[in-house]
A and B are shown apart, each in its own frame.
Chain A
Amino acid sequence: MIHALTLILACQLAGETLTRLMGWPVPGPVLGMALLFALMLASPRIATLVIPTGEGILRHLSLLFVPAGVGVVGHVQMLGAQGAALLLVLVLSTVLALAIGAGVFVAVARLTGARDDG
């Protein structure tokens, strides 16, 4: 477990360092994800090493958003008079983005024959 955790943190650290150094508009952990993915592709040993611990962290990914979510409660008054309008925008825009994103995925998958058969 300690090796897996070390590897995950090392990927994050490398990601943070690289985005800052290059001024890329990607968060360090996202680049760290790409890095870990590349390492797992390159070495099955790394993959088997990191999987149990990584899946343990991911099992309760929802939990990790709770502290930031609690911060929102304190800022609800920031929405002010515009609160209702902002909420309406968020609901409509999220529904549209979900529907169009998934719809285009299915349509292009059908057109290109990129079926999911296993």
Chain B
Amino acid sequence: MADFTEIWSYLAGDPLIWLAATLIAYVIGDAASSRMGRAAWVNPVLIAVVLLGALLWLSDTSYDTYFEGAQFVHFLLGPATVALAIPLWHQRAAFRRALLPVMAALLAGSLTAVLSALAIGHALGLSPQLLATLAPKSTTAPVALGISQSLGGSPTLTAVLVIVTGIIGALVVTPLMNVLKIRDWRARGFATGVAAHGIGTARALQVHPQAGAFAGIGMALNALLTALLAPWALGLFL
């Protein structure tokens, strides 16, 4: 019988183990979230990420090795983004009626996301390069990286800030909206998509189908608007 280290060294080089680990970690996170009644502070992404981060660290596994397995899950982000057309289609009548609030909230949310990040960062004495890295943090990752690069920021760090922003948004949106007494699912969802892109949208879909649909369109429209706004906004702070 082969001993454990032999089996491990075989498996550790195989994509299967990290693909399986990703799903297992998520199933644990999702079960915890479901058990707690989808409470905002039990975020399945955050739980899975922490578990996997610890596992990689304990097993001395590089991210590249991990990603060879995890890439199959990561790949589905593209098709899933396309599939966000479906909740929007279900809500097409509600969306058509809400065109004006959508446009106003897009402008307000997108401007606030970019300008407040730059203003607070500037006040805290962050370098111009860090401000450029920070500016697109509410935008969906592929667009954020492009914006960061064209503004002279660091795309790798932007990727980190984008993910952290998404998790913060998913964690705070429910308690924040409750405190503000905003009960309109369209408003809650749309603002979440604009401020916290796909991770916020995933949270919104979990909470309410209408919030999910409006979050998806918020994410898409914000990607467009931030690409146009960010260079001008950054100019204000340099």
A interface with B by C-beta (< 8 Å): 5, 8-9, 11-12, 15, 25-30, 32-37, 40-41, 47, 50-51, 53-55, 57-58, 60-76, 78-79, 82, 85-109, 112, 114-116, 118
Contact = CB atoms under 8 A, between A and B. Distances in A.
Contacts of B146: 25
Given A64-B80, A67-B71, A96 B116 contact: yes
26 contacts: A9-B79, A27-B142, A30-B140, A30-B223, A36-B82, A41-B92, A50-B86, A58-B86, A62-B202, A62-B203, A65-B163, A66-B25, A67-B70, A71-B63, A73-B53, A90-B161, A98-B172, A98-B177, A98-B196, A101-B110, A102-B105, A102-B187, A104-B104, A105-B98, A105-B187, A106-B184
Contacts of A12: 78-79, 81-82
B41 interface: no
Which of A57, A63, A106 has the largest number of chain B CB atoms within 10 A? A63
Contacts of A76: 160
Contact of A116 (B22, B176, B186): B186
B97 to A, nearest CB: 5
B190 A101 contact: yes
Given A70-B66, A85-B121, A93-B120, A109 B98 contact: yes
B192 interface: yes
B70 to A, nearest CB: 4
